[in-house]
Chains A and B, each alone.
Chain A
Amino acid sequence: MQPIISVSHLSKVYESGFEALKDINLEINKGEIFALLGPNGAGKTTLINIICGIVNPGSGTVTAAGHDIVTEFRAARSLIGLVPQELTTDAFETVWATVSFSRGLFGKGKNPAHIEKVLRDLSLWEKRDSKINTLSGGMKRRVMIAKALSHEPSILFLDEPSAGVDVELRRDMWEVVRRLRDSGVTIILTTHYIEEAEEMADRVGVISKGQIILVEEKTELMQKLGRKQLTLQLQQTLEAIPASLDGFALELGPDGNELIYTYDTQSERTGITRLFKALEQAEIRFSDLQTTQSSLEEIFVNLVSTRS
């Protein structure tokens, strides 16, 4: 797939000496939703801010649709919309005025029909004449998204879009993001809500201590790194796991009525058939069974903790 953003050997050291990014190489494909995950201080916002022009890069290059963000900043930035992490809005402007201002700032002429569509999509149309300081936090977040979409960007950065947002608004935003992706917009989001990445992302990148640890298709990542668990509901409680089952990665539930078997979905043999035979020989019977797969959150925590 054709990359719309290319980051090559990007490093950044702040004046304080803090090394925020270390030799980052990353390609983001056109039309995908890319989730950038990482703990606090990992370098997510620095990376986004460099691509958007808010922070000066140290070394390395970044291009947006082939345009260098430094030497061809005008062409590069006109393609990009940014919703920053902090709720930073004007206070005394109306919603309509501030969104129209953003469109002008990005070099686009007036287009009331587009502004109206954006405001309607984000359920802001009724509030178009309201001053921003009269809006709730959730509404202000929508205004920031509307501002970022005002100039019809083909790349949209959402830096922690769900921070401080209620469940309903979060769902609404996900819907808007999906619609944007369907219309061809590339979306890069950072989030602490792994559930959000799991729900929406096509690909996931994990950054820790200024380095990209991995970039992977979300489904592949979950298959590769995801562990599955088989839980067996026992007909009779056990006090301990019999010695004949020592070769299996089994855990006994707290009440002694569950056996939990953890296995790797990628290995050639999961060992389930062998386990069932061993259970039969040990005369352990079960009344029910279920399987669960580890979430992206568990994968993420494992990855980051392994690195540190």
Chain B
Amino acid sequence: MNFHAVKAIYKFEMARTGRTLLQSVVSPVVSTSLYFVVFGSAIGSRISEVGGVSYGAFIVPGLIMLSLLTQSISNASFGIYFPKFVGTIYELLSAPVSFIEIVMAYVGAAATKSTLIGLIILATAGLFVPLEIQHPVWMVLFLLLTTVTFALFGFIIGIWANNFEKLQLIPLLVVTPLTFLGGSFYSIDMLPPVWQTISLFNPVLYLVSGFRWSFYGVSDVNIAVSLGMTLVFLALCLTVVWWIFKTGWRLKA
């Protein structure tokens, strides 16, 4: 194992976050906080409780999950796309590093950044709405599993993308809508039966539901199913990344 390489890439990526603190950390925290102000404090006080939880508190797990998904994807995708774009990828490809080490470093850095952002948003949410975390270990587990899984997904997008538009395509047109429709702002019990069934095909629903269960003990789907779906997606992403490095797809001629 080339630990020096893993450390070098990880430090390089974290240093990039340090250089772009406003964009990387402050911006997502502020924009998510605005949701708490608008839906939690302003409008939320006029909406009845959902599953015995005040609306302002109900949306916290979903909003954190929205941030985790988008940040994990964008951090990891940009991290691997940028060397491709400027051409410095040659150094990575010619270095004595295995695909596992490259993935560990890039995905580890992206997941670290997203986890930090998630925790900052959680702390910020506590300023606007009353919070409780009934299952803190599960909360941390879901948080880490989600950041790692979606950082892997972002890594795949970064390798697939051959322009900046494609880099934004999946996060904006797929992930964000799925998150909004995945029960971030409502329980699927509130939907007509047909839409409830359709919602079950949305993978983000399982993440939001499991994460919310770790806070309030209420969920749209069984916690085991949530965990299982997350692990399936993680395994799927790992398989795709393994295949990419095995074949050199979009990396090597």
Q: Which residues of A contact B (CB under 8 A)?
A: 14-15, 49, 52-56, 73-78, 80, 82, 84, 86, 88-93, 97, 100-109, 147
Instruction: Kindly state the separation between the CA atoms of A75 and B2 in the bound complex, as whole angstroms.
Output: 11
Q: Using Cβ atoms and an 8 Å threshold, which residues of chain A touch B253?
A: 14-15, 49, 54-56
Q: Please name the 3 residue pairs, one residue from A and one from B, whose CB atoms are nearest each other, closest first.
A: A104-B8, A88-B87, A77-B96
A74 to B253, CA, bound (A): 20
Query: Would you call B90 and A54 a contact (CB within 8 A)?
Result: yes
CB neighbours (8 Å) of B96 from chain A are 73-78, 106-107
Of B8, B87, B92, B93, which contacts A86 at CB under 8 A? B87
Let me know if B97 and A105 touch, CB within 8 A: yes
Of A54, A75, A89, A109, most buried by chain B (CB within 10 Å of CB) is A54
| Chain A to chain B contacts (Cβ below 8 Å), 23 pairs | A14-B253, A15-B253, A52-B90, A52-B94, A56-B252, A56-B253, A74-B98, A75-B96, A76-B96, A77-B94, A77-B96, A84-B90, A89-B88, A90-B88, A91-B86, A92-B19, A101-B12, A102-B91, A103-B8, A105-B8, A105-B92, A106-B4, A106-B95
Known: A77-B96, A107-B96. A82 touches B90 (CB 8 A): yes
Per-position contact with A for B142-182: 1 when CB-CB < 8 Å, else 0? 00000000000000000000000000000000000000000
Distance (whole angstroms) from the CB of A77 to the closest CB of chain B: 4
Contacts of B51 on A, CB cut-off 8 Å?
Answer: none
Q: Indicate whether A74 sits within 8 Å of B15 (C-beta atoms), given known contacts A54-B94, A56-B248, A56-B252.
A: no
Q: Which residue of B lies closest to A15 (CB)?
A: B253
A82–B5 touching, CB < 8 Å: no
Contacting pair B15 A105 (CB below 8 A): no
Contact assessment for B5 and A88 in the assembled complex, using a CB-CB cutoff below 8 Å: no
Decide: B94 and A82 in contact? CB cutoff 8 A.
Answer: yes
Name the residue on A nearest B251 (C-beta): A54
Q: Which residues of A contact B91 (CB under 8 A)?
A: 82, 102, 105, 147
| Shortest CB distance A285–B (Å) | 63
Known: A55-B252, A90-B88. A107 touches B93 (CB 8 A): no
For the complex, give the distance between the alpha carbons of A67 and B94 in Å: 15
Asked if A104 and B5 sit within 8 Å, CB to CB, the answer is yes
Tell me if A88 and B88 are in contact (CB < 8 A): yes
Distance in Å: Cβ of A91 to nearest Cβ of chain B: 7
Residue in B7, B19, B88, B97 with the greatest tally of chain A CB atoms within 10 Å: B88
**B88 touching A106, Cβ below 8 Å:** no
Which B residues lie within 8 Å of A147 (CB)? Answer: 91
In the complex, chain A residues whose CB is within 8 Å of the CB of B87: 84, 86, 88
Which chain A residues lie closer than 8 Å to B94 at the CB level?
A: 52-54, 77, 80, 82
B164 to chain A, nearest CB (A): 16
Please give 7 more A-B residue pairs, beta carbons under 8 A apart, in addition to A88-B88, A92-B19, A105-B8.
Answer: A53-B93, A102-B91, A104-B4, A104-B5, A105-B92, A105-B97, A106-B5
Nearest residue, chain B, Cβ from A72:
B96
The size class of the interface chain B forms with chain A is 20 to 34
Say yes or no: A104-B7 contact (C-beta < 8 A), given A86-B87, A89-B88, A90-B86.
yes
Q: Is the CB of A88 within 8 A of B86?
A: yes
| Pairwise interchain contact A105-B88, C-beta atoms closer than 8 A | no
**A90 to B8 CA separation, bound complex (whole angstroms):** 14
Pair B86/A105 contact, Cβ less than 8 Å:
no
Best-surrounded residue of A14, A74, A86, A104 (most CB of chain B within 10 A): A104
Complex partner residue of A107 from B4, B11, B16, B19, CB under 8 angstroms: B4
Check if B86 sits within 8 Å of A107, measured CB to CB.
no
CB of B66 within 8 Å of the partner chain? no
The docked-state distance in angstroms from the alpha carbon of A93 to that of B9 is 13
Q: How far is the CA of A93 from the CA of B11 in the complex (A)?
A: 12
Q: B88 contacts which chain A residues (CB < 8 A)?
A: 88-90
Which residues of B sit under 8 angstroms from A76, Cβ to Cβ? 96
* Minimum Cβ distance to chain A for residue B98 (Å): 7
Q: What is the bound-complex CA distance between A74 and B97, given in angstroms?
A: 7
Interface residues of B in 1-52 (CB under 8 A from A): 2, 4-5, 7-9, 11-12, 15-16, 19
A74, A89, A102: the one contacting B2 at CB < 8 Å is A74
Interface string of B107-150 (1 = CB under 8 A from A): 00000000000000000000000000000000000000000000
A77 and B96 CA atoms in complex are apart in Å by 5
Q: Which residues of the partner chain B approach A74 to less than 8 Å between Cβ atoms?
A: 2, 96, 98
* B9 / chain A contacts, CB cutoff of 8 Å: 105
Distance between B35 CB and nearest chain A CB, rounded to angstroms: 32
